[in-house]
Amino acid sequence: PYDVLVIGGGPSGASAAIYAARKGIRTGIVAERFGGQIMDTLGIENFISVKYTEGPKLAASLEEHVKEYNVDVMNLQRAKRLEKKDLIEIELENGAVLKSKTVILSTGARWRNVGVPGEAEFKNKGVAYCPHCDGPLFAGKRVAVIGGGNSGVEAAIDLAGIVKHVTVLEFAAELKADSVLQDRLHSLPNVTVITNAQTTEITGTDKVNGISYKDRETETVHHIELEGVFVQIGLVPNTDWLGDTVERNRMGEIVVDKHGATSVPGVFAAGDCTNSPYKQIIISMGSGATAALGAFDYLIRN
């Protein structure tokens, strides 16, 4: 059996695998797609100490760093079941069952898409998901935020300090965000809020030039000219396959303690699949290191 088996090969999983392997213990990593979300990321400017890099380049360095160590890398493999017996068993989609003394879950998350024409086409060409990451790219420009929940309104407040103008499009009749956030939003001079707005299309040529929405009351379609669209309708953790084996919160995120431990002894978790409040590369790498050290502590005590 493995001492530590990491499920997920994004920044958190790679970090966990390296920290585990450096303890000289038997380490494996299973990844559906090594690199994770950063494979879909173009410019990265907030990975501290690296002024600028690109997702696929960072993913290649992650893989290279992992391969410096004695880690079994099982890429293009998807875990579908976890079961705690004497050891922890992970069943893969291909039917193989891997056994380990500890497991680190680092299966990440995905942004919920609006699924309208133009969204996929203009991803990284004006359509963005992460205001912390991509906000500065729209300095002085006009943007829309789709979604009026906490993340959408936080994004709009954040962006209003950088961009020329922000339009918030909320599907429902009112914003869903906490009232302190709504008050803050309404105090900003360069923000317009449109409720009952169903986004119908993101328009553009080689990059975004506008957004169309249907007013759900009057059934009329409107078009706004702008340069960027931030989709903020939720981040979905890749944790469905866990069922009720480990405790998850109402958003489906795995609940971890300060050591990265989950509700199941020997099972740890890190990165965007957990209830960590902020989802960023540097944060997920830190939590991967924490989970590996937590798992090592667990191994020497059991």
- In this complex, which beta carbon is closest to ligand FAD, that of residue 3 or of residue 32? 32
Q: Is 270 annotated as a binding residue?
A: yes
Provide CB contacts within 8 A for 219, sequence distance 6+.
none
- In this complex, which beta carbon is closest to ligand FAD, that of residue 25 or of residue 73? 73
- In this complex, which beta carbon is closest to ligand FAD, that of residue 226 or of residue 235? 235
Within the chain, residue ranges assigned H as helices are 11-21, 55-67, 131-134, 150-160, 179-186, 281-301
Smallest distance, Å, CB 134 to ligand FAD? 7
Smallest distance, Å, CB 302 to ligand FAD? 25
Q: Is 276 annotated as a binding residue?
A: no
The beta strand positions in the chain, using DSSP E, are 2-7, 27-31, 43-44, 53-54, 71-75, 79-84, 88-92, 97-105, 109-111, 127-128, 142-146, 165-169, 191-194, 197-204, 208-215, 221-225, 228-231, 235-237, 267-269
Q: Is 5 annotated as a binding residue?
A: yes
> Strand 267-269 relative to strand 97-105: parallel, antiparallel, unpaired?
parallel
- In this complex, which beta carbon is closest to ligand FAD, that of residue 40 or of residue 89? 40
CA distance 133 to 222: 29
Smallest distance, Å, CB 224 to ligand FAD? 23
Q: Are 31 and 128 in contact (CB under 8 A)?
A: no
Q: Is 126 annotated as a binding residue?
A: no
Residue carrying structure tokens 């979300």: 37
Q: Is 18 annotated as a binding residue?
A: yes
Smallest distance, Å, CB 276 to ligand FAD? 9
Under the rule (CB under 6 A), what is the footprint of ligand FAD?
7-13, 30-34, 36-38, 40-41, 44, 46, 78-79, 106-109, 111, 129-130, 133, 238, 241, 271-272, 279-282, 284
- In this complex, which beta carbon is closest to ligand FAD, that of residue 193 or of residue 292? 292
What backbone phi and psi angles, to 5 degrees, belong to 180?
-65, -35
Smallest distance, Å, CB 172 to ligand FAD? 25
Q: Which residue's Cβ lies closest to ligand FAD? A: 108
| Binding site residue list for FAD | 3-18, 262-272
| Binding site residue list | 3-18, 142-156, 262-272
